Homo-oligomer: A and B are copies of this chain.
């Protein structure tokens, strides 16, 4: 985290221009939670009338912050809200002291903003098991409140980074009834990424007006199509949090407007793909598409088995069109498969079918395809109509280098 990692070759050229979201103000600060010389705390303040939805890691050892957010997220309130995020220390597995740190931060924000503590949400990301120096964060609150600005979302994306090599942002604007509705999101996460909301922090803001009772199920649906279908290393974090805040400041009620859900889906998918593209050590972005499975659930099991296989991920790193390892991963997944009905494609190239390599397949074609930076592995199981898509990256020397000495 103090170290600077080489920017991912899959990173976008620049951070996108994100629209200002009415009803949202942000500020960042250098609190020195773990390392000096970088912004490591974010404060976001949301106007009265904001509705909040969230999804969280299902880890049995989730952090104090996550437990606190989960307890608060279900309540309706017109009071507005605040979000405090620190990087450098995850406040996970810090016992009762961790619960105390969360309470202290929420109380301090409440006192200074007039918000009830039940409307202050916190996230912490970084090393597990070390006491969070919450006093350093609280000491910066007055400065943060004095610096709140609607146009600071780029700094926010920077402040929440840990081993990320680039800040992640995405946005969409849709018109409903002739009026614009804006969505802007930021994310962090590059390792310990796996389904069930793994090691990511994601904050999405919109000026849409929508009731919590509609916003939460929409977020659940879209998470299952986006963040829950990405994997870097199959490891699930104790801190994953996605908060979605709808300020209502546009005055546009988006309830029942599919165009809004589609736009939110696009923002979430963009952010999810950026997390994969910043996968620790990643040099390839891989789409794994499974069709023809006995059910959608079976398709997802196969797709994740392919996407999490170290042997496939290393083969991709080596640009080796090793489709035999795809057969292996389908075979071991536990979901239904049949050697003789299976077919495998790399991009548009039919590689295997009828229980064997395809007659038309030329190894040189497969090898040439594997040189692309973005790859699609498509397995059709040949048993039914189930389908799923997941996204992952390759497994390289970079992953080992980053994770063999993360804490040093």
Contact = CB atoms under 8 A, between A and B. Distances in A.
Interface of A: 57, 59-62, 90, 92-98, 127-130, 191-192, 194, 196, 198, 233-238, 308-311, 314-315, 317-318, 320, 322-325, 327-333, 336-340, 342, 352, 354-357, 395-397, 399-401, 403-408
A93 B324 contact: yes
Contacts of A324: 90, 92-93, 127-129
A317 B404 contact: yes
A315 B403 contact: yes
A320 B324 CA distance: 35
30 contacts: A59-B328, A59-B332, A61-B327, A61-B331, A61-B339, A62-B331, A92-B328, A94-B355, A95-B340, A97-B356, A128-B325, A129-B324, A129-B352, A129-B357, A233-B310, A234-B234, A235-B325, A235-B328, A235-B332, A310-B399, A314-B399, A314-B400, A314-B404, A317-B400, A317-B404, A318-B408, A320-B404, A320-B406, A396-B400, A397-B397
A127 to B, nearest CB: 6
Nearest to A67: B339
Contacts of A395: 310, 400
B404 A328 contact: no
Contacts of A318: 403-406, 408
A336 B92 CA distance: 18
Contacts of A340: 95
Given A322-B406, A332-B194, A397-B397, A238 B327 contact: yes
B354 A95 contact: yes
A308 to B, nearest CB: 8
For the complex formed by this chain, how many copies does it contain in all?
A: 2
Contacts of A127: 324
Contacts of A191: 311
Contacts of A92: 324, 327-328
A308 B308 CA distance: 11
A235 B311 contact: yes
Contacts of A400: 314, 317, 395-397, 399-400
Nearest to A396: B400
A124 B61 CA distance: 43
A311 B192 CA distance: 7
A198, A323, A339, A408: residue with the most chain B Cβ atoms closer than 10 Å: A339
Nearest to A234: B310
A387 to B, nearest CB: 18
B61 A342 contact: yes
A329 B235 contact: yes
Nearest to A59: B331
Contacts of A59: 328, 331-332
A356 B95 contact: yes
Contacts of A405: 318, 320
Contacts of A129: 323-324, 327, 352, 356-357
Contacts of A331: 57, 59-62, 236, 238
Nearest to A337: B60
A328 B406 contact: no
A399 B310 CA distance: 9
A237 B328 contact: yes
Given A127-B324, A324-B128, A403-B315, A330 B97 contact: no
Contacts of A128: 324-325, 327-328
A238 B309 CA distance: 14
B192 A328 contact: yes
Which 10 pairs of residues, A with B, have the shortest CB-CB distance?
A128-B324, A318-B404, A61-B331, A95-B356, A59-B331, A236-B332, A314-B403, A95-B355, A60-B337, A129-B324
